[in-house]
Structure 1
């Protein structure tokens, strides 16, 4: 049987998402670190894995996959994780909720984007992150109003929105972004924090 290997940087939101999903699927995997701070993602060795020079990269089922959202879809389909509803309209709503973070918020807070925009200096770095993270979370909070939290973001079990939210909350805490007044998000955060798949994926534990 082919070994499942995740090329990963612990604080990478996209990598964090995959650790959560692999844990939800009860898939045993080996982590291989790619240190973004030292430029390991730009090495010839890593570019051979992913010409974009990004993490994560996942070897699974004899395949090599890139792009966290595409990999999450693969895991959801092949392992029947139920990350999205079957009803087309509800599926679109949940996908939009998840993408509000993964597609709209996460890219502007990417390490390379932030460093290019700010030169990596304070207070520019923190100001940049706060400028985008708080409004993004406010929008997510409003969008959550369309769902019954029972207790996760959109259902009784973790789904795509939870997987995308938790890494962003980790970043919010790293950069001192306040969100304690966002009661729906706080409730989802508590539910996820109590779940073993999320606990084991936390950047401080890998």
Structure 2
């Protein structure tokens, strides 16, 4: 398999963690999003969405959308699991994951920030303020959901990483880039610390990727 990503991409970060957790070795390739390499003809032919990540299977089939890739990896390599066995618990984990992957990430990612600057004349700081607002809004919901729930353990659900944590850790990385005050979210900070102490998360961290930049 080959994973095409970008070191700073939250979506690619999620998939890297899952691959590490499940002990799957892949070839890594990069498309530099800030240089527009995702718009090159060869990549558009591979992934018409012009986004990362894309996971190229040994069969040549191309999987896109990080959440779909996570589900594929869970179905094809179920150990260790990133979803609980009980249906209601699976729903809880998916809901937590989607706070980050659906409610926060899509409206504060690179292409949205670029559009705000280019089409609406926003400054770098006002675009950052936009991102902070939506991260904080999502984190308020996440914090309230996990802080007093007895199903929350060392991680977002229990004492082993789940899909929720795979989405939370990259979003905390973004929150720090956008100068979100993480003191407001003590449970998220505690869970994030547990995540980044785990070898699978640490190895997936952006600064440790071959295409990492300062």
* TM-score bracket relative to the smaller structure: over 0.9
Q: Which aligned pairs between 1:135-174 and structure 2 lie closer than 5 A?
A: 135-144=137-146, 145-174=148-177
What secondary structure sits across from 1:167 in the alignment? helix
Q: Is the 8 A contact 1:8 1:57 kept in 2?
A: yes
What secondary structure sits across from 2:25 in the alignment? coil
Query: Are 2:39 and 1:52 aligned?
Result: no
Query: Are 2:22 and 1:20 aligned?
Result: no
What secondary structure sits across from 1:123 in the alignment? helix
Q: Is the 8 A contact 1:109 1:132 kept in 2?
A: yes
Q: Which of residues 54, 62, 81 in structure 2 aligns to 1:64?
A: 62
1:118-138 deviation line (CA, Å, top 9, x unaligned): 336322221111111111111
Q: Which moved more, 1:108-117 or 1:161-170?
A: 108-117
What secondary structure sits across from 1:65 in the alignment? strand
What secondary structure sits across from 1:180 in the alignment? helix
Identify unmatched segments of 5+ residues in structure 2. Answer: 210-214
CA drift at 1:201: 0.3
Question: What is the alpha-carbon distance in structure 1 between the residues aligned to residue 6 and residue 125 of structure 2?
Answer: 25
1:110-163 deviation line (CA, Å, top 9, x unaligned): 110111123363222211111111111111101113343331110211100000
Q: Is the 8 A contact 1:8 1:56 kept in 2?
A: yes
Q: Is the 8 A contact 1:147 1:153 kept in 2?
A: no
CA drift at 1:181: 2.9
Query: Are 2:78 and 1:76 aligned?
Result: no
Q: Which moved more, 1:86-95 or 1:16-25?
A: 86-95
CA drift at 1:97: 1.0
RMSD: 1.3
CA drift at 1:177: 0.5
Question: What is the alpha-carbon distance in structure 2 between the residues aligned to residue 142 and residue 84 of structure 1?
Answer: 21
Distance verdict in 2 for CA 1:94–1:35, change over 3 Å: same
Q: TM-score, normalised by structure 2?
A: 0.91
Q: TM-score, normalised by structure 1?
A: 0.94
Query: Are 2:99 and 1:100 aligned?
Result: yes
1:19-54 deviation line (CA, Å, top 9, x unaligned): 000000111111111001111001101101101111
Question: What is the alpha-carbon distance in structure 2 between the residues aligned to residue 102 and residue 56 of structure 1?
Answer: 13
What secondary structure sits across from 1:48 in the alignment? helix
